[in-house]
Amino acid sequence: MDFGLGLLLLALTLTVTLGHEGNVLVTLLAANVILSGIYLRRGFSLKQLAGMLLSGAQQGLPVVVILLLIGLVIASWMAAGTVSSLVYYGISLIQADYFVLSAFLLTAAVSVLIGTSFGAVGTIGIALMIVAHSSQVNSGLAAGAIIAGAYVGDRCSPLSSSAHLVASLTQTHLYSNLYNMLLTSLGPLLISGLIYTFCPSSTVELSTNNPITAEILKQFQLGWVPVLPAIVVLGLACFRIQVRVTLLLSWIVAVAIALLYQGYAVGEIAGFMAGGYQLHESSTLHKVLQGGGLISMGRVCLMVVVSTALSGLLAGTQALWPLQRPLVRLAASGHLFVGTALAGLLSAAIGCTQTIAIVLTHQLMHKPYIQANLSPYHLAVDIEDTAVVFSPLIPWNVAGFVPAAVLGSDASFIPYAVYLYLLPLAGLLFRPRDWFASPPSKAEVIKN
């Protein structure tokens, strides 16, 4: 009775907060308070409940440091002209006859470099949608290809916050996870490319009919110099250098370029690092090139900590055991990935954010994977191939409706985001147990 009432209160809170720009942080806090009250009434002590919450929150702390560094890197890349250069040169490479394919691949490349689906959609995605509208390409088709491409990097970039969260929860090594994700994504990427190749294309000359590229030339000095921070990330990632070191070095290079090459003052750079990058309102790029900074990452960090605290509470009270029992039976019958897919879909639909979907899927599935004698690396890549990519396919999930809103689209993009369907489908049809990388050596552990 009390548990049902608690779920009803959470549902009402979620409905209200989604109506106010998707502020699900309130829902997460409410979930912790309501569930703590329920289990306090059921006999748990305050000390026990506080210990569960603290234990869970500690899992998210390593991710918080990475998120803050990512906030600094994004702001510095924008000030240095790195993001603008990626957009400008990327659009100049697009072939009009293969616009939809080019949109998917270009957004995927940018998202891998900057590690955020929202960032990729908010920069290169907006430029591509302007081209799509002027070329009479179906807006749902264009948005689907762009959002699917954005989640290529959101899933498997060294700068991806979701990849770091999965690695932290499963206690696995990021670069081993990225290698495993590359293996499982090759087939879906190729098939997605083939499908997008035969989609209706643009009929205009793209590089000369885009107001965003013209404004970029007015606002930034381009060339090879602004691309250096991205090269630093790619180069150091290839050598598996610790992610924090990679981000820090890329940030230092970007700040130097912003100061010496783009001509920003020290005070302006400091403001960007704190509050995020922003151009003057008179610029047409004002709403396109903005974001990053420490403050903008504050809410994301709180969501991670509060979500993992909720995970600790659910684990300590065994609240999810009724849902885990059928998943354990699926694991015993050899259908473990089916159970993970169902858990990921349910978590994405109920949680309404990618972060909650990841946390809940891990909470539901980690015991079945242990009982199936599978390593945490299997669980990590299976979460990436289910919960992470299911989230943008749920119309009311923040991971999907925010990018769609940024692109001026709606749920019509969902049927065209084929890459997001193909990843879990490939997992269902073909998932050898011995595909995945083993844990790194002791020397690699020390290095990373």
* Residue 304 pLDDT: 77
User: Could you tell me which of 176, 166, 181 has the C-alpha nearest to residue 304?
Assistant: 166
DSSP code of residue 315: H
Quickly tell me which residue has 């569960």 as its tokens. Answer: 52
> Which one is predicted more confidently, 437 or 45?
45
Classified as helix, coil or strand, 278 is strand
Rounded distance between C-alpha atoms, residue 154 and residue 159, angstroms: 8
* Residue 151 pLDDT: 92
* Residue 355 pLDDT: 81
- The per-residue pLDDT for range 196-228, each reduced to its tens digit, is 988 866 554 554 456 777 888 888 998 899 999
> Which one is predicted more confidently, 366 or 11?
366
Q: Are 181 and 155 in contact (CB under 8 A)?
A: yes
Q: Are 220 and 81 in contact (CB under 8 A)?
A: yes
Question: Buried (b) or exposed (e) across 12-51, using 16+ Cβ within 10 A?
Answer: ebbeebbeeebebbebbbbbbebbbebbeeeebeeeebee
- Whether the pLDDT of residue 241 is over 90: the answer is no
- The per-residue pLDDT for range 110-148, each reduced to its tens digit, is 888 877 787 778 767 777 777 777 667 788 888 999 999
Name the β-bridge partners of 277: 291
Quickly tell me which residue has 């009390």 as its tokens. Answer: 2
- For the record, the structure tokens of 353 come out as 């954010």
* Residue 208 pLDDT: 46
- For the record, the structure tokens of 17 come out as 């907060």
Rounded distance between C-alpha atoms, residue 17 and residue 379, angstroms: 31
- Whether the pLDDT of residue 368 is over 80: the answer is yes
Amino acid at 323: L
Rounded distance between C-alpha atoms, residue 46 and residue 377, angstroms: 35
* Residue 437 pLDDT: 53
- The per-residue pLDDT for range 161-183, each reduced to its tens digit, is 788 889 988 989 888 898 889 88
* CA-angle at 369, arms to 363 and 373, nearest 5°: 150
- The per-residue pLDDT for range 419-434, each reduced to its tens digit, is 999 999 988 887 655 5
* CA-angle at 58, arms to 361 and 378, nearest 5°: 35
* Residue 445 pLDDT: 40
* Residue 251 pLDDT: 92
In 183-314 the beta strands, taken as DSSP E runs, fall at 277-278, 290-291
- The per-residue pLDDT for range 338-363, each reduced to its tens digit, is 888 988 888 888 766 788 889 888 88
Rounded distance between C-alpha atoms, residue 98 and residue 206, angstroms: 11
- The per-residue pLDDT for range 245-285, each reduced to its tens digit, is 888 998 999 999 999 999 999 999 999 999 888 888 777 77
Which value, in Å, is the radius of gyration of the alpha carbons in the chain? 22
Amino acid at 125: G
* Residue 214 pLDDT: 81
Mean pLDDT, the chain, whole residue set: 80
Rounded distance between C-alpha atoms, residue 335 and residue 95, angstroms: 43
> Which one is predicted more confidently, 122 or 404?
404
